[in-house]
A and B are shown apart, each in its own frame.
Chain A
């Protein structure tokens, strides 16, 4: 079955960077885009961008354009999200999701990133 397993929770100080991983299994990694979505505590969902697992090209939401980098390692069937210059507003659960006809068919369990001094 399709599974997306994300890395564990992170605690960072303001100004630091974070890298979250998303290891996939149960399907051919190069067949589907991987999206990243975040959810601040008690808030809604916010799309951050997506990465093409074949080319490695990524599209980012405008609000994250300057601080986000999405990468992948096809040999490890894994995708990665890097976010720099963290502030308390970046405290959120970060999800990876496998594309399903353009939308999010399969989701990782989420990774809590806490930013605090």
Chain B
């Protein structure tokens, strides 16, 4: 059982937008002292960071991916869906010091 809760799967058609939720508690996603990041993972590949600090993009990453957080829930929205977006998406909460990374169970996106 993962620390953070994500839907197992979502689907959408090309060009549409979808949103993946990530629900935690006041001790992680809901904590003002922690942050949320999102990863994209293709089969047999390492995870790739697509959102950090709740809603920031790593350099060179597509802005079709956007993140937000409200209360104990973080969300990843993918706009203008493309076939190449088919992957598994993981949320993660993190912070400084000895704070461990917590992950959601992952959401499989089908386009």
Pick the interface stretch among B12-20, B21-29, B73-81, B101-109.
B101-109
Among A74-117, those with CB < 8 Å from B are 95, 100-105, 107-110
| CB pair B103 A45 closer than 8 Å | yes
Q: Is B53 an interface residue (CB 8 A)?
A: yes
A108-B46 in contact given A35-B101, A47-B100, A103-B101 (Cβ < 8 Å):
yes
| CB pair A46 B103 closer than 8 Å | yes
Bin chain B's interface residue count: 20 to 34
- A39 and B14 CA atoms in complex are apart in Å by 30
- A37 and B96 CA atoms in complex are apart in Å by 17
Q: How many residues of A are counted as interface, with CB atoms below 8 angstroms from the partner's CB atoms?
A: 20
A-B pair count, CB < 8 Å, reads: 57
Partner of B106, one of A44, A101, A109: A44
19 A/B residue pairs, CB under 8 Å, sorted by A:
A37-B47, A45-B92, A45-B106, A46-B103, A47-B102, A47-B103, A59-B100, A61-B100, A95-B47, A101-B52, A101-B53, A103-B35, A103-B49, A103-B52, A104-B37, A105-B52, A107-B47, A107-B48, A109-B46
Chain B interface residues (CB < 8 Å from chain A): 2, 35, 37, 39, 46-49, 52-53, 58, 90, 92, 94-96, 98, 100-106
